[in-house]
Structure 1
Amino acid sequence: MRRNKRPDLSVTLPNRNVALAVPLPLPPLPNSTNISPAKSLSELERVNRIGSGNGGTVYKVIHRPTSRLFALKVIYGNHDENVRRQISREIEILRSVDHPNVMKCHDMFDLSGEVHLLLEFMDKGSLEGAHVCQEPELADLTRQILSGLAYLHGRKIVHRDIKPSNLLINSAKNVKIADFGVSRILAQTMDPCNSSVGTVAYMSPERIDTDQNDGRYDGCAGDIWSLGVSILEFYLGRFPFAVSRDSDLASLLCAIAMSQPPEAPATASEEFRHFISCCLQKDPPKRWSAQQLLQHPFILKSTVRPLPSSSSAPAS
């Protein structure tokens, strides 16, 4: 029997408390050997602006006492004391992260409510727009990213925003993962209604359609999906779905959640095609972990070769 709607019934929505929009308490801070190179912001001289995003601006800066170059990310907004303490707490955790394929977060400064993050400077910028069609080069690039992801996942750190603009390269041809953790912190503290971090174009299907996988979300598996989309984009030189990254939101969501996962073309090697399929499984438990992918034949056959430079501005 169909029940009639009761127009006289309503539900009052709860008021959101911005002060509560912070992550849960973290485990005790591990011992960190990372000592900040700058004692204060006054030791840093801004050279030029190198990027913007995530509610802030990134500057190339020089540490005057040592002449070392760094990136300084300035997050605008007047955060209350509880939020600043939580940001400081989580960034202390991030400062303990030490891996050659993860960009270092050296320190945080608080100036008049603005959060300043002192970051490692990557002089060749991001891999946004890079086209890497040679498989040996792509395999080495992928190996470096996987190495950083395996390290983060092993420490229970989920990135949640793997994409080409968050993969940086320097003159030594080292590839590093950027913006891990910090994006999640700031998204939760700056916008209490925002429970979804990450660029939609690289999100896994189960993050878009929460009915998939019975509403359970494995952050590590989500990172692997985003990695697979990014690596396939590098190979093709374009976004691998039938729609553009700049398409309207509805088209993007439908393409990711409703269509079959993209595949590497038949012209690619069998190893590469299988590698991509291991990343882009619709069912999260079927995706390989970062540790497993490091042992994939596509990765094992890689040799270290020069990576293409990118003209994109460094991102963070």
Structure 2
Amino acid sequence: MAVVRNRRPFNLRLPLPETFDRRPCFNPPLPPTATTTASSGSGTAVAYSDLEKINVLGHGNGGTVYKVRHKRTSKLYALKVVHADTDSTIRRQIFREMEILRRTDSPHIVRCYGIFEKPSGDVEILMEYMGAGSLDTLLHAKGTFSEDQLARVARQILKGLSYLHALKIVHRDIKPSNLLVNANMEVKIADFGVSKIMCRSLDSCNSYVGTCAYMSPERFDPDSCGGNYNVYAGDIWSLGLTLLELYVGHFPFLPAGQRPDWATLMCAICFGDRPSLPDGSSEDFRSFIECCLQKESSKRWTASQLLTHPFLSKYPASES
């Protein structure tokens, strides 16, 4: 457990959450537009009637994700289904995700091939099928990642974050389970339910959303910096924790297997020392993690800067 030091008075304007789960923010949803076909991404239309469900890939956040096959082409997709009777805050997240997916087109972002909004109120999003699951899945199935594997993972995520940040999109929930992997071991960013499009330069990201275990110190306590901070730097902090977790095999601020109360976790992140890396880790990797996990957001490297870090230069890219 990180040592807590220099504790100062802490002001939280929002109630403590009961769990580590996401809490939604409350932006108004986009107006729905009913459709039964969508672009496949290759110029051809995908009709909903051409899709057949194979099996359930997972549940969560008010919806079910199915593995589906196109009847004529046999192409596999993932279909996220959110029903009309789902909690209104979850539906707001879905509409926010839809808005962002419509704006993005990057090999490092899970691709959206179509959105079906039914007269019943159900919303279904047809997405790229990522057959290897998530980084969290791989961690639990195959064990910890080596430094060269992490360099490849980091490079792909950083390219995705650099793309998003250039579009003024803050993800706000980077963590192993939101980073999906396909059969070619390409890592892509997914799940934009609590993301935010920074429409104006004065917009803030003070809303308490995301998974608090991966939140940066300034998002826990925006008053510590007068509410003014680099909103994109929170994604970099989350990336650093994610990479460190993949390296050590457990959430890095806590001993393996420990699940503390929320206040303990908040104190560790805001006031504790940076998690230490095991003996044997390289100086370049240590430096890379330090650049991600600076307590002051202004001192964290940006996604573009991290792409030039010696840790990534040490392991040349194999992907385009």
Matched with 1:299 is 312
Alignment of 1:231 with 2:231, yes or no, is: no
Structure 1 58/146 Cα, relative in aligned 2: closer, same or farther at 3 Å? same
Structure 1 79/168 Cα, relative in aligned 2: closer, same or farther at 3 Å? closer
Alignment of 1:54 with 2:61, yes or no, is: yes
Alpha carbons 1:55, 1:75 under 8 Å: kept: yes
User: Alignment partner of 2:244: what SS?
Assistant: helix
Alignment of 1:254 with 2:262, yes or no, is: no
Matched with 1:22 is 28
Alignment of 1:146 with 2:146, yes or no, is: no
Structure 1 103/300 Cα, relative in aligned 2: closer, same or farther at 3 Å? same
Alignment of 1:126 with 2:109, yes or no, is: no
Q: In the comparison of the two structures, how many residue pairs are matched?
A: 271
Question: Once structures 1 and 2 are overlaid, which stretch shifts more, 254-263 or 134-143?
Answer: 254-263
Q: Distance in 2 between matches of 1:114 and 1:217?
A: 38
Structure 1 93/231 Cα, relative in aligned 2: closer, same or farther at 3 Å? closer
Alpha carbons 2:81, 2:123 under 8 Å: kept: yes
User: Alignment partner of 1:148: what SS?
Assistant: helix
Alpha carbons 1:52, 1:58 under 8 Å: kept: yes
Q: Distance in 2 between matches of 1:242 and 1:84?
A: 33
Matched with 1:107 is 114
Matched with 2:168 is 156
User: Alignment partner of 1:107: what SS?
Assistant: strand
Q: Deviations over 1:172-225 (max 9, x none)?
A: 121111113x3447xxxxxxxx94221111111111122221122433100000
Q: Distance in 1 between matches of 2:248 and 2:221?
A: 26
Alpha carbons 1:137, 1:304 under 8 Å: kept: no
Structure 1 122/147 Cα, relative in aligned 2: closer, same or farther at 3 Å? same
- Which segments of 5 or more consecutive residues in structure 2 lack a partner in the other structure? 1-25, 32-38, 197-205
Q: Distance in 1 between matches of 2:181 and 2:93?
A: 30
Matched with 1:91 is 98
Match of 2:78 among 67, 71, 76: 71
Q: Distance in 2 between matches of 1:102 and 1:65?
A: 26
- The residue type equivalent to 1:120 in the other structure is E
Greater radius of gyration (CA): 1
Structure 1 280/177 Cα, relative in aligned 2: closer, same or farther at 3 Å? same
User: Alignment partner of 2:273: what SS?
Assistant: coil
Measure how far apart 1:87 and its partner are.
6.4
- The residue type equivalent to 2:221 in the other structure is D
Alignment of 1:212 with 2:206, yes or no, is: no
Measure how far apart 1:89 and its partner are.
8.3
Matched with 1:288 is 301
- Which segments of 5 or more consecutive residues in structure 1 lack a partner in the other structure? 1-19, 26-31, 186-193, 307-316
Matched with 1:270 is 283
| CA RMSD after TM alignment | 3.2
Q: Distance in 1 between matches of 2:259 and 2:112?
A: 30
